[in-house]
Homo-oligomer: A and B are copies of this chain.
Amino acid sequence: MSAPEHRYVITFGCPDRTGIVARIASFLADAGGWIVEAAYHTDPDSGWFFTRQEVRADSLPFDVHELRERFGRVAEALSASADWRVEDTAERRRVVLLVSREGHCLYDLLGRVAAGELDVDVRAVIGNHPTLGDITRAHGIPFHHVPFPAGDPAGRAAAFTRLAGLVDEHDPHAVVLARFMQVLPPSLCEAWSGRALNIHHSFLPSFIGARPYHQAHARGVKLVGATCHYVTADLDAGPIIEQDVIRVDHGDAVPDMVRKGRDIEKVTLARGLRWHLENRVLVHGNRTVVL
């Protein structure tokens, strides 16, 4: 595929009132900005307005820093929430992946990157087991093994400190828990707020916590699912980015559910991660607006 067009991406939320669209559009039009993609959403329950706009970089007479500064005045005038952003697609997205022993999500993501389908810079993969080191290195990506000793709170805290250091040196746009299986401590949930994505192997809020496929089998559900969500201090309760399901039946024992569910985990995580990295996901309370 050809090189993607250089664009600036504006995302923005503020209390709804008349004239917001006109204000933003006029600001861009006055500068000659060519809007390539625009999406708007008004939430009637909260009275809140959201937008995401992609502008061709070469249509504006200034660079991203000046756009950010100038747009900041618009944002202020409209009482925007603090998380408004102006991003530059020329800045390649940096990603760090956290894994354990199960490799299906890792294989899937690395395959997408290698196939040129997901244009991101996977800076590192960190595993609490060494299992997935070889495949990671075969893709030319550094792998770090950080063991988490069971039943040793101090050891685990030290491991999280080391892991955080390995993550933070890359200042990543996304920290992906690709079936990491360890619960992040609240301090890291806070530090990586809005940047840490988890894939949970159930259709949340059903089957929170451990062994969701076993829970699903015991309940006798006819579909199993997966949920990609932002990590918060509440286990499996963060804002949902994407979900999907697949049909199972009485003939599916737990291992069959696991196998079928993995296909859903992979695509759900890949979609959620793509949207996150394209700045399509705006968080509002515990819900997401995907523009």
Task: Please list the residues of chain A having a beta carbon within 8 angstroms of any beta carbon in chain B.
Answer: 1, 18-19, 21-23, 25-26, 28-30, 32-45, 59, 102-104, 107-108, 110-112, 114-115, 117, 135, 138-139, 203-207, 218-223, 225, 239-240, 242-245, 249-251, 253, 255, 259, 262-263, 267, 270, 286-290
Contact = CB atoms under 8 A, between A and B. Distances in A.
Contacts of A222: 240, 242-243
A112 B221 CA distance: 25
A251 B287 CA distance: 11
Nearest to A242: B222
Interface on chain A toward B: helix, strand, loop, or mixed SS?
Answer: mixed
The 10 closest A-B pairs by CB, nearest first: A107-B111, A220-B287, A22-B29, A138-B138, A22-B25, A19-B29, A21-B25, A222-B243, A250-B289, A206-B206
Contact of A18 (B34, B204, B240, B244): B34
A239 B220 contact: yes
A117 B259 contact: yes
A242 to B, nearest CB: 6
Nearest to A56: B18
A114 B112 CA distance: 16
A156 to B, nearest CB: 26
A2 to B, nearest CB: 9
A157 to B, nearest CB: 31
